[in-house]
Amino acid sequence: MIWYLAAVIAGYLLGSVPFGLLITRLAGLGDIRNIGSGNIGATNVLRTGRKDLALATLLLDSFKAGLAVFIMSSLSGDRNVGLVAGAVAFLGHCYPIWLGFKGGKGVATYAGLLVFASPLALAVGAPIWLGLFALTRISSLSALTAAAFVPAGAYLLGETKFAAATLLALSVLVFWTHRENIKRLLAGTEPKFGSKSK
């Protein structure tokens, strides 16, 4: 039980670091929450026109979940503890205490978790995201579709029940954090990746 408690604490602290906000402020662009969707993730950072900052945000937001998985799995010797740490890092990213529990939407953090914690789930989600993004250039649609297929697909490929259940919970949360995107998708007004917003 102590390892799971440690996983929750470490995962949340790592996940709640708002890299998108920190990077854009250091670059002299002000508060990223005042442009576009108001989100602190890589997609909104790209709307500043700075692809380098968006890429840095994407990598760091992904790495923090992966780091949580790696550290806690290694220390505890229990993969499930690492999964919990990664899942809580996702929660920390979406609901950081430092920003009034208003953070990112969790896609990059979710992807980072898959890289370190579940290659089977990554094998399901990555081709779906890449293929749909190539066709539509709509990041949210690609992410939502991949998230929808990841839990069941990973389980069918041999992933454990615990991992599949954890991924299912995170996929549900991805849909929750993207509820405004879903409304725009249904209305046909969701912007394509790389577009700038005033």
Residues 119 and 79: their CA atoms lie apart, in Å, by 13
Residue 198 lies in a domain: no
Considering only CA atoms, give the Rg of the chain: 16
Q: Domain span at residue 85?
A: 2-187
Residue 102 lies in a domain: yes
Residue 192 lies in a domain: no
Handedness of CA 110, 111, 116, 118 (dihedral sign): positive
Handedness of CA 28, 56, 102, 96 (dihedral sign): negative
Residue 29 lies in a domain: yes
The pLDDT of residue 198: 44
Cβ atoms of residues 143 and 107 within 8 Å: yes
Residues 196 and 12: their CA atoms lie apart, in Å, by 31
- Written as tens digits, the pLDDT of the chain (198 aa) is 899 999 999 999 999 999 888 998 898 888 888 887 777 888 788 888 788 998 999 899 989 999 999 999 999 999 999 999 999 999 999 999 988 898 889 998 999 999 999 999 999 999 999 999 999 999 899 999 999 999 999 999 999 999 999 999 999 999 999 999 999 999 999 988 655 444
Closest CA to 98 of 28, 12, 178: 12
Residues 57 and 179: their CA atoms lie apart, in Å, by 22
Cβ atoms of residues 36 and 44 within 8 Å: yes
The pLDDT of residue 195: 54
Rounded to whole angstroms, what are the CA distances from 174 to 83, 104, 111, 138, 140? 17, 10, 11, 15, 10
Residue 98 lies in a domain: yes
Residue 194 lies in a domain: no
Closest CA to 82 of 32, 7, 163: 7
Residue 196 lies in a domain: no
Number of domains in the chain: 1
pTM of structure: 0.88
The pLDDT of residue 194: 54
Residue 6 lies in a domain: yes
The pLDDT of residue 29: 83
